[in-house]
């Protein structure tokens, strides 16, 4: 490790059974030795609280602490992350080991911080006690069952709740309002658990030890990345992807934007792909030469302050045999190790100048955890076409990834802002994607943003339902109607893709739209494109409305890949966000940041196996990795899977 | 509603929780108001017994009333139609609300009739009490376990039942006889439940109030549409389909034939598609202009006396947000409303003359609920090819839909007769499709029909098993052998489609047969077609036998679409049922009926987006919708998605 | 039967409920009659112990004897082969019926032997008592939990077992070591059960009555065919396949090789396809003329001493209606019967000379039950392409079938040797396929075989993990490294097929490799082929190493069908195993054997619908079926689906 230039290691979070081999019997000696060795090698340690996988003896004593699956069904020991995180026995044991562990390492100079648990969620717990607390949570929210019945429209099928005592469990619930609030409740429980651990650790830890978690990723139903990162010092994310031909840096950037946006500051890449991953061996994709090196600098360019592989060395047995680390099963140096070592040694030269980079983006994308969940409960598509690698099927996630991919293809760096506490006042362009669940205040805020001079690109489904999953009783798009400049009363699925009439965005064969068509009726907006179809042709597909000092471009249908990119670029030009970055070759990406020392940095990445020259269009400076001077307007040569970082003078 | 010309509304069946917000506490006031409003607007009310969805408090008191799923597994509150309909607690509550409700509205002049429950079935209940009653039911049927063992061939795997006490549950049963009788028992329970409700309602209701149910549709395993409509005054069906390009009137006609055949008289379209439907939003297909208007008259032409949309206005929350009614989520007039209003207002002019139309068809199709079920338990195909819209995969249902589609393409109006009490003596042509389960009497009746001059088109699998799901011990086709004029001892799956030798039905590229080949050995029949294959080529694919005064055409294989239509048309010509209707353009359909006043009516429908002229080949009369005179032999102009109704003078 | 020349029948194994209609009440009379009839007809009887399907009354008394499914879930009466074979009540009843039955028929001269149970396995039983015995089994194997924790690497996720009492059940276990040992334990239980029955029967039976079972087939996870045939006199296998165009003799030969290899002597074809099979009617494929006749001689040529159809006559009801026997549902003579009769009567002439044939093959394929199981738990592929008929998807089974198919296409007769007790010292060529699980001793034995002059063809994944499912800690291929002459540290999935550079095996369009690429680094081996790819191209795909007096050819990737055949043929030529057999036309197969009388026999089979002439290249002799003399080097005419058997003088 030392030879490879690594200087931080995370340990301990997977070892409760080893820390505490029997109830109340602690063993730290084995780890003390490892930490001491690390210390000698100059490697700092992040210690993890080991609460995500319970020991055998604990289950034997308290089998009831496992999460009961939604809808019932059997459960048992074997999997990790399968307990009810609010089970009192579990909490008691967890508190004991956390406090013991933190006290033990509090004064160890090599231990610089704490990871809380691992990829925490509520694990789908539908235990009786969870149900009871949910009822209490609902009582606090709605006060009366009458208010609940109205908010959730429970007279449908005559399912009004007559008393809190009779409130049915989530197991077979059909109510959309129920589903959404249950998801929020589970998110809240998961965030509360992290907050509880953060408090426990902080009370016992050394004051300069930081506390973080690795869950600021595009997230599961039961995780609200924004809320869960509140109690932490730093947000961390786990970025897994496949190397070789699927690797293009898109996913890393999206996850980086999300982690940076969650906490509003630099973040940790807490885990990322070593050789390959999988709970089987069916998709083992080790990197081509150069990819791993390049990827570290891409994460740094996104604002990462730490880059950790999961994991150093591969496991020789168990479920994760083929979740392969830097070293393989022989634990000997190999091709991957050599590349990591090259990276580590270069970082010794340039790393200090790349910490705490500041990003200053003009474009933001709004992320709505609620809309993601709600569109799973009430999907508008079933996506059967092959997707680009690492896209996730279905609804919100797909449109979110698709438009973010267009932004990436357009080489536009973006921030992610969260619907949970949105602040987009400083941006020039705000992207709003299928914002299905939104309260009136959020929609008003978007309208105000436009009126005051902001620009918005928005898609279908936005503003449709309120915060209780109640589709609005006013003509769509409800409170957005004035800013959007149209209304609609009907939505049609598109069973087959259509074209836009006259190819208005000049994309030739790429002229396709699909999935959905809201039948927009213009009020003050102008149509940018119409469908090419005898019936749909009377409705506009894309509109733009000037509203106050700003504008709102609306896509009432799902644009094909080329079409989406073209619409985006046209809008960027119109609002003055189009520059030389946008003219870079397709395989080249660029990132900008300002260093702590105030220097302007420009990162260039070649995501291809062919060398390429790109025009450097910024000020005179130095390419940091090679240490070579760079002139304004000169050409930069990028090797296959190469990277260059220019610091302006 | 009034403005839209609507004059009947169904209400109340989904509102048990609102009728009875707490145990024994009834609330009718809210509905009294609505009924009064309706009365003022001249809209009559059908009230529904609200027993298909139980209130929250009832489940809390009696969780055991829910249907236990076959094979076990968890269940709970949330879904509708999930109770054991014979649970004594449930029955007691149901009786109380029904009686209270009927008494309350018995004298309300606006309430013209009663809907019983909603789309009732036995809901797969495999509760212990249901098992016990099943054993009693079997005892009554078979008397001794020895008789049962023999009928079901239970010495197979040594599974003879030694005593009624030890009779195993249905859960993991493999016996084919068991499966079929269990399905019948469940059908019987569902029909009994409807009979019980009919009696309850009739005892309390006003004598001129009718009683009906909405389940005379191509049905679930647990519904026998023939039996279930016995206790009713009118049969009702729910007709759901997609508008736009999938819409062609075929499904409506088939469902109409079935509802008309079940009760042997005019029927109600109890629910049909408004804007769109779905328990999600993945297939929202609102109509093209004209489709909704036309569709009402198609149902009337099939014999419907009532046409109700499900539903008037869309729900803004819950599982059925996107089961969209005439009005959308804004509850404002819209394009759909405008078309419904146009229809309603035209019906004010012509409706009275279109009630109680008489149909007089020469062709009948036999429907066998038992065969449908049995071929699910022992399927002969796994259908993987894309099907035309609204076809249902697998076995009996598919061949039934396929041949009915050929009849529709041939513009032949048909009746459906039920194997449960078949009467086809008045028809000229009887279609018998995969009649897998049939007792000797039914087969004899078909033979007699042929002998006495009837014509039959029959497919493979007919006559194979007896009423106990016992494949006959005599050489196939058993009792049909004389009428069919062949025998066979072997059946082969066709793994790939074959051609017929020499394209005998002149369908060119459409010359394909598939799925199955019974290896027919001619006795008195003649071969109409042979397979084009070295092995199968020695067996005929299609045969015809003259038997007595009639004929039986047999298809030992599944004919491709064009092939099936060609065989049907050739047979229609041969037996004198081919006329000008059959020469109409593909997209045009025709329906005939006689009005109460004794006038001959001819309905023409253009199922396409292109205007078309068709030759009117009946007597001088008047086109009712436009009020224009029509000469014999003149051309009728049909608008896109247009309809014309000519009443002969 | 007699007329058809049948001389053995198996009966009774499916009739516990009939043998013992009530607890302790036995009835043999019905069978006595049948056996007597058989005796009169000169047909000998194999009687089966009826323990695979329990009677209704037994379940009613002891519902707990059923196998609890892994992971829990409901279970109940209906299926066969669903009990815990170690349940004490079940064992008591089984012993009682077995002893009574054997005593009853012990002295019946027509009863020549006993079948034990039917296709026995452990039926996935995860009952509490099974768990307890597993813990005991593990204790015997590992002695301490510490040893177990180390062998299974249970500190992963902190899941060390602290005491045998707390040992978790298999239900939700993730440990790979756990999964493999559980599979072995279940195999051991199944084999023990068969041993127990064998002892019971032998103690009560006549000394000349043999004992066998029908489970020496490519097997389920819970069956180890090698171990299970130890207690038997003869191995039996059940060979099911489809006739018509899928039928090519490949599967029969593979299963025959396996049954012959399991016991190291001639075997019984205990069940094989009559007309067709299936638990439904979706794939009914009766034979073309000639196929059934030919197939009997193919099995004989593989070393079968008995050939029994399942079954004589078809069942008219129950789950297996369409598992059709020789006779159909009318139980009358038919086309199939005629062919069986032709076969039976020819066997009367030539059968005696075809019993106890000796096979003397030079090529062996190693079969590893453990690797088959382990690669299910940790698969390296997900196979989505259409497979040739009767191939089974996924991992070990697929590569095993694929390479055996190449051997069959190359007309190379092979033995199967079992990794459980391998002896391949007498072979010239050993095929080792994805031998993922192997202890050091087995790998050493393979190395020694090479060193002493043997030749090996080996594929990827061999030697990867040890007997505890622990991937080796030494650089791959571990103990095989010297013999293989290379090492590798990385493995990549091939997401798309690649070509080999320069088409080294001259297969044109067949030049594809796929699924996996181990990144081999040559040490002493030479490369036979490289990938055609910028990155993978630096690694060899196929290597050969001279080691001692022998050689090891290694395939680090999955070769396409043509490629695999070409590599195999080239290697056969190189080591002197290529002769005139290998030049036979594609559809022709050849088998060799030596008769009891010491005559050399050569079987020729034409697996096609076209007649073909083949060059006979062995000594002067007689074609046995026609009784015609055959000269060396003459041409033999083979009818469509024809067979010729030449006995050298």
CA of C625, closest CA in chain B: separation in Å?
Answer: 25
Give yes or no for residue C2 having a pLDDT over 90: no
pLDDT digits (tens, 9 = 90+) for B294-307: 999 999 999 999 99
**pLDDT (average), residues A152-179:** 96
Q: Looking up tokens 């034995």, which residue turns up? A: C445
Q: Cβ C474–A609 below 8 Å, yes or no?
A: no
pLDDT digits (tens, 9 = 90+) for A297-326: 999 999 999 999 999 999 999 999 999 999
**pLDDT (average), residues B479-489:** 98
Give yes or no for residue B646 having a pLDDT over 60: yes
> Omega into C594 within 30° of 0, i.e. cis?
no
Q: Looking up tokens 């009366």, which residue turns up? A: A144
A158, A176, A492: residue with CB nearest B53? A158
Q: Cβ A14–C381 below 8 Å, yes or no?
A: no
Q: What is the pLDDT of residue B247?
A: 97
Q: What is the pLDDT of residue A269?
A: 97
Q: Cβ A158–B328 below 8 Å, yes or no?
A: no
A166, A171, A475: residue with CB nearest B60? A166
A172, A469, A493: residue with CB nearest B317? A469
Tell me which chain C residues have a C-beta less than 8 angstroms from the C-beta of B74.
Answer: none
Q: What is the pLDDT of residue C221?
A: 77
Q: In chain A, helix, strand, coil percent, each to 5? A: 35, 25, 45
**Bridge partners of C520?**
C488
Query: What kind and span of H or E run contains B593?
Result: strand B588-594
pLDDT digits (tens, 9 = 90+) for B244-298: 999 999 999 999 999 999 999 999 999 999 999 999 999 999 999 999 999 999 9
Cβ A645 vs Cβ A623: under 8 Å: yes
Give yes or no for residue B358 having a pLDDT over 80: yes
Chain A and chain B share a number of CB contacts under 8 A equal to: 161
Q: Cβ C244–B495 below 8 Å, yes or no?
A: yes
pLDDT digits (tens, 9 = 90+) for A411-443: 999 999 999 999 899 999 999 999 999 999 999
Distance CA C300, CA C352 (A): 11
Cβ C213 vs Cβ C238: under 8 Å: no
pLDDT digits (tens, 9 = 90+) for A567-614: 999 999 999 999 999 999 999 999 999 999 999 999 999 999 999 999
Distance CA A623, CA A603 (A): 9
Average model confidence (pLDDT) across chain A = 95
Tell me which chain B residues have a C-beta less than 8 angstroms from the C-beta of C280.
Answer: 378-380
Subunit partners of chain B (3 or more CB pairs within 8 A): A, C
C449 versus C391: the higher-pLDDT residue is: C449
Q: Looking up tokens 């943003």, which residue turns up? A: A449
Query: What is the side-by-side order of every strand in the sheet holding B526-530?
Result: B414-418, B363-367, B429-432, B455-459, B550-555, B540-547, B526-530
CA of B458, closest CA in chain C: separation in Å?
Answer: 20
Give yes or no for residue B482 having a pLDDT over 50: yes
Chain B and chain C share a number of CB contacts under 8 A equal to: 161
Q: Cβ B288–A474 below 8 Å, yes or no?
A: no
CA of C603, closest CA in chain B: separation in Å?
Answer: 26
Residue B490: partners with Cβ closer than 8 Å, 6 or more residues away: B518, B519, C275, C286, C328, C334, C335, C336
**pLDDT (average), residues B499-528:** 97
Cβ B640 vs Cβ B608: under 8 Å: yes
Q: Cβ C378–A322 below 8 Å, yes or no?
A: yes
What does each C-alpha distance from B373 to B141, B177, B180, B370, B464 come to in angstroms? Answer: 20, 11, 7, 5, 14
Q: Cβ B56–A155 below 8 Å, yes or no?
A: no
- Taking CA atoms, what residue in B is nearest to A72? B74
Q: How confident is the model at residue A228 (pLDDT cuts 50, 70, 90)?
A: very high
Q: What is the pLDDT of residue A390?
A: 44
- Taking CA atoms, what residue in A is nearest to C474? A330
**pLDDT (average), residues C496-502:** 97
Q: How confident is the model at residue B219 (pLDDT cuts 50, 70, 90)?
A: low
CA of C480, closest CA in chain A: separation in Å?
Answer: 15
- Taking CA atoms, what residue in A is nearest to B276? A492
Tell me which chain C residues have a C-beta less than 8 angstroms from the C-beta of B165.
Answer: 60
Interface test with C, best of A12, A55, A245, A318 (most C CBs within 10 A): A318
CA of B244, closest CA in chain C: separation in Å?
Answer: 35
Distance CA A557, CA A541 (A): 6
Q: How confident is the model at residue C639 (pLDDT cuts 50, 70, 90)?
A: very high
Q: Cβ B492–C285 below 8 Å, yes or no?
A: yes
Q: Cβ B316–A474 below 8 Å, yes or no?
A: no
Q: Given the DSSP bridges, would you call strands A455-459 and A429-432 parallel, antiparallel or unpaired? A: parallel
Considering only CA atoms, which of C299, C302, C297 is closest in space to residue C265?
A: C302
pLDDT digits (tens, 9 = 90+) for B45-80: 999 999 999 999 999 999 999 999 999 989 999 999
Q: Cβ C157–A53 below 8 Å, yes or no?
A: yes
Q: What is the pLDDT of residue A219?
A: 64
| Residue ranges with strand state E in A178-227 | 210-213
Give yes or no for residue C624 having a pLDDT over 90: yes
B15, B17, B283: residue with CB nearest A493? B283
Distance CA A216, CA A506 (A): 38
CA dihedral C314, C317, C318, C324 (to 10 degrees): 20
Give yes or no for residue B312 having a pLDDT over 60: yes
Give yes or no for residue B174 having a pLDDT over 80: yes
pLDDT digits (tens, 9 = 90+) for C334-361: 999 999 999 999 999 999 999 999 999 9
Considering only CA atoms, which of A508, A170, B310, B168 is closest in space to residue C66?
A: B168
Interface test with B, best of A73, A152, A157, A464 (most B CBs within 10 A): A157
Q: In angstroms, how far is the first alpha carbon of chain B from the final one?
A: 34
Q: What is the pLDDT of residue B385?
A: 52
Q: What is the pLDDT of residue A391?
A: 46
Q: What is the pLDDT of residue B287?
A: 98
Distance CA B141, CA C553 (A): 70
Tell me which chain A residues have a C-beta less than 8 angstroms from the C-beta of C489.
Answer: 328, 330, 332, 334-335
The three-state secondary structure class of B80 is: coil
Tell me which chain B residues have a C-beta less than 8 angstroms from the C-beta of A491.
Answer: 281, 284, 286
CA of C387, closest CA in chain B: separation in Å?
Answer: 15
Q: Cβ B283–A535 below 8 Å, yes or no?
A: no
Tell me which chain A residues have a C-beta less than 8 angstroms from the C-beta of B80.
Answer: 157
C169, C476, C490: residue with CB nearest A286? C490
Q: In angstroms, how far is the first alpha carbon of chain C from the final one?
A: 34
Give yes or no for residue C383 having a pLDDT over 60: no
Considering only CA atoms, which of A612, A618, A610 is closest in space to residue A580?
A: A618
A163, A169, A471: residue with CB nearest B317? A471
B168, B474, B519: residue with CB nearest C330? B474
- Taking CA atoms, what residue in C is nearest to B518? C284
Q: How confident is the model at residue A623 (pLDDT cuts 50, 70, 90)?
A: very high
Query: What kind and span of H or E run contains B516?
Result: strand B513-522
Q: What is the pLDDT of residue B390?
A: 44
Distance CA B410, CA B417 (A): 20
Q: Cβ B162–C57 below 8 Å, yes or no?
A: yes
C219 versus C528: the higher-pLDDT residue is: C528
Interface test with A, best of C69, C138, C489 (most A CBs within 10 A): C489
CA of A490, closest CA in chain B: separation in Å?
Answer: 7
Q: Cβ B172–C77 below 8 Å, yes or no?
A: yes
Give yes or no for residue C443 having a pLDDT over 70: yes
Q: What sections of C428-558 are H helices per DSSP?
A: 440-451, 481-484
Give yes or no for residue A386 having a pLDDT over 70: no
- Backbone φ and ψ for C445, nearest 5 degrees, come out as -65, -40
- Taking CA atoms, what residue in B is nearest to C320? B156
Instruction: Compute the half-sphere exposure of residue C506: CA atoms within 13 Å on the CB side of its CA.
Output: 2
**pLDDT (average), residues C125-143:** 98
Tell me which chain B residues have a C-beta less than 8 angstroms from the C-beta of A174.
Answer: 78-79, 318-319
A21, A286, A288: residue with CB nearest C160? A21
Q: In angstroms, how far is the first alpha carbon of chain A from the final one?
A: 34
Q: Cβ C329–B167 below 8 Å, yes or no?
A: no
Kindly state the DSSP code that residue B201 receives in the 8-state scheme: H
Q: What is the pLDDT of residue C131?
A: 98
Tell me which chain C residues have a C-beta less than 8 angstroms from the C-beta of B470.
Answer: 316-317
Q: How confident is the model at residue C387 (pLDDT cuts 50, 70, 90)?
A: very low
Q: What is the pLDDT of residue B392?
A: 46
| Burial (Cβ within 10 Å: 0-12, 13-18, ≥19) of residue A648 | middle
């Amino acid at each position: 490790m030392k030879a490879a230039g690594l200087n931080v290691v995370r340990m301990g979070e997977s070892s409760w059974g080893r820390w505490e081999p029997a109830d109340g019997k602690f063993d730290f000696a084995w780890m003390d030795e490892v930490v001491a060795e690390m210390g000698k090698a100059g490697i700092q340690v992040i210690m993890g609280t080991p609460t995500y996988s319970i020991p055998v003896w604990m289950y034997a004593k308290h089998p009831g602490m496992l999460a009961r699956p939604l809808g019932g069904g059997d459960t048992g020991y074997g999997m990790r992350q399968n307990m009810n995180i609010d089970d009192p026995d579990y909490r008691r044991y967890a508190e004991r080991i956390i406090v013991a562990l933190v006290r033990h390492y509090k004064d160890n100079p090599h231990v610089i911080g704490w990871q809380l648990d691992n990829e925490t969620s509520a694990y789908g717990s539908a235990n009786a006690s969870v149900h009871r607390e949910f009822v209490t949570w609902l009582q606090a929210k709605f006060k009366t069952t009458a208010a609940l019945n109205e908010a959730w429209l429970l007279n449908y099928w005559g399912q009004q709740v007559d008393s809190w005592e009779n409130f049915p469990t989530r197991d077979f619930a059909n109510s959309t309002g129920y589903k959404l609030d249950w998801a929020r409740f589970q998110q809240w429980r998961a965030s509360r658990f992290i907050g509880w651990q953060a408090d426990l650790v902080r009370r016992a830890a050394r004051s300069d030890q930081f506390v973080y978690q690795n869950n600021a990723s595009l997230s599961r139903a039961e995780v609200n990345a924004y809320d869960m990162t509140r109690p932490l010092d730093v947000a961390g994310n786990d970025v897994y992807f496949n190397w070789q031909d699927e690797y293009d840096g898109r996913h890393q950037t999206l996850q980086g934007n999300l982690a940076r946006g969650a906490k509003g500051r630099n973040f940790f890449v807490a885990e990322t792909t070593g050789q390959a991953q999988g709970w089987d061996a069916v998709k083992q994709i080790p990197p081509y030469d150069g990819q791993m090196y390049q990827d570290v600098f891409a994460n740094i360019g996104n604002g990462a302050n730490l880059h950790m592989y999961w994991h150093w060395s591969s496991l020789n047995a168990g479920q994760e045999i083929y979740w392969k680390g830097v070293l393989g099963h022989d634990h000997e140096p190999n091709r991957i190790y050599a590349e990591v070592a090259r990276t580590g040694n270069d970082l010794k030269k340039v790393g200090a100048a790349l910490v705490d980079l500041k990003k200053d983006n003009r474009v933001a994308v709004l992320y709505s955890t609620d809309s993601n969940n709600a569109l799973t409960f009430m999907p508008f598509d079933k996506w059967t076409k092959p997707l680009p690698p690492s896209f996730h099927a279905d609804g919100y996630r797909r449109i979110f990834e698709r438009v973010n991919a267009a932004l990436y293809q357009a080489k536009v760096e973006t921030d992610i802002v969260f619907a949970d506490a949105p602040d987009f006042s400083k941006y020039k362009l705000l992207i709003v994607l299928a914002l299905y669940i939104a309260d009136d205040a959020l929609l008003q805020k978007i309208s105000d943003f436009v009126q005051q001079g902001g620009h918005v690109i928005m898609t279908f489904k936005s503003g449709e339902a309120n915060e209780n999953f109640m589709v609005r009783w006013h003509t769509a798009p409800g409170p957005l109607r004035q800013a959007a400049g149209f209304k609609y009363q009907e939505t049609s699925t598109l069973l087959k893709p259509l074209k836009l009439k006259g190819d208005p965005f000049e994309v030739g064969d790429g002229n396709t739209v699909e999935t959905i068509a809201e039948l927009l009726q213009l009020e003050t907006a102008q149509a940018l494109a119409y469908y090419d179809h005898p019936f749909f042709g009377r409705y506009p597909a894309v509109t733009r409305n000037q509203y106050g000092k700003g504008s709102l471009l609306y896509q009432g249908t799902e644009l094909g890949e080329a079409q989406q990119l073209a619409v985006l670029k046209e809008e960027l030009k119109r609002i003055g966000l189009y520059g030389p970055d946008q003219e870079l070759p397709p395989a080249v990406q660029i990132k900008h940041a300002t260093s702590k020392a105030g220097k302007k940095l420009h990162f260039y990445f070649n995501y291809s196996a062919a060398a390429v020259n790109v025009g450097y269009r910024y000020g005179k400076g130095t390419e940091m990795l090679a240490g070579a001077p760079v002139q304004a307007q000169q050409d930069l040569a990028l090797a296959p899977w190469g990277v260059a970082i220019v610091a302006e003078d």
